[in-house]
Chains A and B, each alone.
Chain A
Amino acid sequence: MESERIEEYLEAIYKRQGREAPVSTSSLAADLGVSQPAVTDMLRTLENKGLIDYKSRMGASLTRTGEERALLVIRRHRLWERFLTDVLGMKWDKVHKEACRLEHATSPDIEKGLSSILGNVDTCPHGHAIPDDKGNIKQGENRPLSAFRPPVKVRILSVDNEDPKLLRAMEKLGLRPGAIISVIKKSRDGSLEIEFQDTKLTLDTATASFLTAEQLPEVSFTTDECEISLGELNSGESGVIKNFGGGRGSLGRCLSLGFTPGSIIKMVENYRRGPVLVRVHDTDVAIGRQLAEKISVVRTGSS
């Protein structure tokens, strides 16, 4: 089946293009599980059909026609995956293989039928965007999880790996596209400490690079991104002192009382009017409202 093989190749090149361009024969050989000379032969054929530009030793890149064709295949693949999970109720770790076969036997009519049954879906179960029937695909701000700097709060967008073992493990944790996690710490070996649904987990380097995510507005799980004034901290909340906007006169007094940048400060009482009572370095200190407005803090949580 010529067309099926062509589609397989175009799909593989498309997926690779995101990471390397042009795509080398060796990586294609690895992705498709065929020998390098076979890949070279096939690439020549594709070039003759005007689907790719191919330069020996450099690699292949899709032409406009090639890309449209590839996206069409990808559209069918992802629609099938959706169908299999959503309609037939299959597990997401099994649908990739099935869809690989079905995508090539899909007529435009079946494709239309699938898309109307599924309604308005725009991603596959793994979180990847489904191209529309004209071969356009939405490009999101997907970054690998490993590229974020903790502490940060993110939403998982996709899993770039079809390994059933990994998918099953993720399924078990409930860690699916759309899940919101807090990345707490990145250790030296690249593994991440994350918090998800109030439990702490460790993701190894490989997993962290397979997951893509987008950053949520908050700086970290319990911290608002913006600095607020001390006067805005509610009773019982804690914060870290960032900055001091008061004049030289009150600065010395504030400093010797321990209002130094980086100090943890706890709001003991803030009644929105009148002075506030805070605890800093183990001592309760009363601060007038005007001065409290001049000290900026980052909220870290409440106790």
Chain B
Amino acid sequence: MKKITESEEITVALAGAPNVGKSTIFNLLTGLSQHVGNWPGKTVEHKTGVFRRDGLTMNIIDLPGTYSLTANSVEEQIARDYLVHENPDVVVAVLNAASLERNLYLVAELIELAPRLVIALNMLDVAEQQGLKIDYEALSRTLNIPVVPIVARANRGLRELITQIEQECGTAAGLRNVKHIEYGSEITDVIDHVDRLLDDGITGLYPKHWTAMKLLEGDEQINKMIRTRMPAERWPALDSYLKEHESAAVTIATLRYEWVERMMAVAQQKRRVGQVSLTERIDRVATHPVLGLFMLIAILGVMYWLVFSIGVPIQKFLDINLIERARDFIYTLSYLPQWLQGFLADGVLSGAGTVLTFIPILFFFFAAWAFLEDTGYTSRAAFVTDRFMHALGLHGKSCLPLVLGFGCNVPAIFGTRIIDSPRARLLTILLTPLVPCTGRMAVIAIIAAAFFGSAAVLISIGMIILSLLIMAIVGLILTRFVIRGKSSALIMELPLYHVPDIKLIGMVTWQNILAFIKRAGTVILAVSVLVWLLSIIPNGNINDSILADIGKFLEPVGRLMGLNWQMMVALLSSFVAKENTIATLGVMLSGSSGDFTQQLKAILTPAAAVAFLVVQVLFIPCVATIAAIRQETGGWKWPALILVFQLVLSFAIAITVYQVFSLFQGM
């Protein structure tokens, strides 16, 4: 074994299925050194970090979570392209001991692409609780791959993992005689035949034999690549041979699973006893068509209850004690010119500053979302809602991005890439802006809390239900009459539940909040300054300003829903960022007396307040979402349509709501 030389730098890729604790290991190793971005041209998270020990520098890449490497999804494609193109020194396959059988399939595929492999067998404790006993040493001997047992949640076994990675690096690539899967002569002959039909160099960095196998497996990405690179006259021969041997895909997968079963026979000493696992027990409720829905609603209820009972009071406290005091302080600095005082107090602090006080609220949304994702619940949410998605001509896969839309519409739009059918994808993109995102909900939450007090939770949940209802109706109309076609098939894994990793959730929440602060410092700041400028031009009096003119121009429409021109301006400003509604209101109401609640109550009747919530939740998507839709649909056609459609839709429904409520009020 070669000794690692001083200051050696190596690259380590973490591969594994979703929910196996891969991200936990990544966090433990890299700590705060990590950099989170996107894979080039993709919206899949790209996480890199550095681990240093005794002169050894490890660049660690957290590959997207995948079950296989057959490019069925963007994640799988990214993971395997990384392995092929970047050729990391060591690949660490993170496996969940409690669902080893499924996880070993990935190992079967990794063996063919990664020269140096180390297996990190995570969650051995969970497996043991389920009555499983894994003989990792026997597995290691049989595979001839080092297997390191770890419990990432308790930070156990990571030191050994690092040592093993170092050792593995010292071995020459290919020295380890890792046993490839034997496919049997019959199928090997077929693979070899395809291999011979391929010219040298045509497969690029992909191994030729591997490419041949993927072609037989029906891998569309590889198929497309070969078709474009191959001389046109030679393609038909290969294509017809592939068609002739279509069943090879089934044989290859079957043989891989047989290999997995052999490995399981070696590794698993004790079969799972008849006991019902925690996952099964939870799923009896979580995936039940009725109970599951109640559970989903209850979980959302708890999430919002936390926001209102803890987040909102903190936000109010910050608003009063930080922003208000700072504003007062700025006005006491008499040596500053008056325009600067106005700019700082009314432009910056009342606008962007107020937005920043929402961080405690957003904290709960992000944390709750990360929590649900980490425990493995989100796929269950998709499962129980699949029934309804079907009514819309969509399926559970469309539901995932839509559910993601609750966090933010922008990643939801990009997330629609997981949908294979272009039709279902377009539909999902068109429906996403009707999902109330955290930005909208933050505004809803603030206004509802300010106006309705204790009834705010009910009102907020009502708003969610309303927008989902509208989304369902719009979806129904779109699938039946506008974009007709066949809906595609749903197939998705439900990972095992596991105890959420608090550190990981903290990290994800922190990253989201950081991004929000960045937006507050740029786009939101710019808009709040712009709104402030518009509000003082030409003479410093907001009632004569350009802003007031715009609002007054819109007032006839606003009056139909009980909103004055100030509320209309606030609504319009949400086009830049949904949270801006509050910032704008902050600026515009800064002249009047009392706190935010009193200011609101002065200009809104209860019916108008409800109408405002409705129009806010259904209003045109923010600039960022529109930009995302343009990018994903490749033109201005659909974004323009969405703008017009949602403008009309939100006004129409809000007007109806206001008129109906006023009727009741009058009685």
Chain A residues close to B by CB (< 8 Å): 244, 246, 248-258, 260-263, 268-269, 271, 273-275, 277, 281-291
Partner of A252, one of B72, B254, B260: B72
> Would you call the interface of chain A mostly helix, strand, loop, or mixed?
mixed
Which A residue's beta carbon lies closest to that of B69? A256
Whole-angstrom CA separation of A255 from B99 in the bound complex:
18
Can you pick out 11 interface pairs between chain A and chain B where the beta carbons lie within 8 Å of each other? Answer: A244-B250, A253-B72, A255-B217, A255-B250, A258-B105, A261-B254, A268-B287, A274-B289, A283-B494, A286-B379, A286-B383
Residues in A with CB closer than 8 Å to B386 are 274-275, 286, 288
Residues in B with CB closer than 8 Å to A252 are 70, 72, 217-220, 249
Interface assignment of B327: CB less than 8 Å from any CB of chain A: no
Q: Tell me how far the C-beta of A237 lies from the nearest C-beta in chain B, rounded to whole angstroms.
A: 16
B493 touches A284 (CB 8 A): yes
A285 touches B494 (CB 8 A): yes
Which A residue's beta carbon lies closest to that of B494? A284
Which B residue's beta carbon lies closest to that of A282? B101
B218 touches A251 (CB 8 A): yes
Interface assignment of B7: CB less than 8 Å from any CB of chain A: no
B491 touches A291 (CB 8 A): yes
Partner of B250, one of A260, A271, A285: A260
- Given A277-B383, A286-B386, verify A260-B491 contact (CB < 8 Å): no
A256 touches B490 (CB 8 A): no
Residues in A with CB closer than 8 Å to B387 are 273-275
Which B residue's beta carbon lies closest to that of A287? B491
Interface assignment of B100: CB less than 8 Å from any CB of chain A: yes
Q: Tell me how far the C-beta of B133 lies from the nearest C-beta in chain A, rounded to whole angstroms.
A: 15
Which B residue's beta carbon lies closest to that of A247? B489
Which B residue's beta carbon lies closest to that of A269? B287
Residues in B with CB closer than 8 Å to A287 are 489-491
B491 touches A282 (CB 8 A): no
Partner of B491, one of A262, A274, A285: A285
Interface assignment of B395: CB less than 8 Å from any CB of chain A: yes
Partner of B283, one of A251, A277, A283: A277
Q: Tell me how far the C-beta of B221 lies from the nearest C-beta in chain A, rounded to whole angstroms.
A: 11
Task: Give the 3 A-B residue pairs with the shortest CB-CB distance, closest first.
Answer: A288-B490, A274-B387, A255-B253
Residues in B with CB closer than 8 Å to A275 are 383, 386-387, 395-396, 490
Whole-angstrom CA separation of A275 from B494 in the bound complex:
13
Whole-angstrom CA separation of A254 from B249 in the bound complex:
11
Interface assignment of B167: CB less than 8 Å from any CB of chain A: no
For B468-492 the 0/1 string (1 means CB < 8 A from A) is 0000000000000000000111111
Q: Tell me how far the C-beta of B435 lies from the nearest C-beta in chain A, rounded to whole angstroms.
A: 21
Residues in B with CB closer than 8 Å to A286 are 379, 382-383, 386, 396, 490-494
Residues in A with CB closer than 8 Å to B487 are 290
B249 touches A255 (CB 8 A): yes
Interface assignment of B257: CB less than 8 Å from any CB of chain A: yes
Q: Tell me how far the C-beta of A249 lies from the nearest C-beta in chain B, rounded to whole angstroms.
A: 7
Residues in A with CB closer than 8 Å to B488 are 249-250
Whole-angstrom CA separation of A261 from B257 in the bound complex:
10
Residues in B with CB closer than 8 Å to A281 are 101-102, 105, 257, 260
Given A251-B218, A256-B70, A275-B490, 20 extra CB contacts under 8 A: A248-B246, A249-B420, A249-B488, A250-B489, A250-B491, A252-B219, A255-B70, A256-B105, A257-B68, A269-B288, A271-B289, A275-B387, A282-B99, A285-B491, A285-B492, A286-B382, A286-B396, A286-B494, A287-B490, A288-B490
Interface centre among B68, B218, B490, by most chain A C-beta atoms within 10 angstroms, is B490
Residues in A with CB closer than 8 Å to B279 are 284
A274 touches B390 (CB 8 A): yes
Which A residue's beta carbon lies closest to that of B260? A281
Residues in A with CB closer than 8 Å to B379 are 286
B493 touches A285 (CB 8 A): yes
Residues in A with CB closer than 8 Å to B490 are 275, 286-288, 291
B105 touches A253 (CB 8 A): no
Interface assignment of B651: CB less than 8 Å from any CB of chain A: no
Q: Tell me how far the C-beta of A287 lies from the nearest C-beta in chain B, rounded to whole angstroms.
A: 5
Interface assignment of B308: CB less than 8 Å from any CB of chain A: no
Whole-angstrom CA separation of A290 from B489 in the bound complex:
7
Interface assignment of B406: CB less than 8 Å from any CB of chain A: no
Partner of A283, one of B217, B288, B382, B493: B493
A248 touches B250 (CB 8 A): no
Which B residues, 393 to 425, have Cβ-Cβ distances below 8 Å to chain A? 395-396, 420
Whole-angstrom CA separation of A145 from B263 in the bound complex:
39
B254 touches A277 (CB 8 A): no
Partner of A288, one of B68, B288, B396, B494: B396
- Given A275-B396, A282-B101, verify A257-B491 contact (CB < 8 Å): yes
Residues in B with CB closer than 8 Å to A249 are 220, 420, 488
Residues in B with CB closer than 8 Å to A250 are 488-489, 491
- Given A246-B489, A275-B396, verify A282-B100 contact (CB < 8 Å): yes
Q: Tell me how far the C-beta of B617 lies from the nearest C-beta in chain A, rounded to whole angstroms.
A: 27
A256 touches B68 (CB 8 A): yes
Residues in B with CB closer than 8 Å to A263 are 257
Which B residues, 61 to 75, have Cβ-Cβ distances below 8 Å to chain A? 67-68, 70, 72
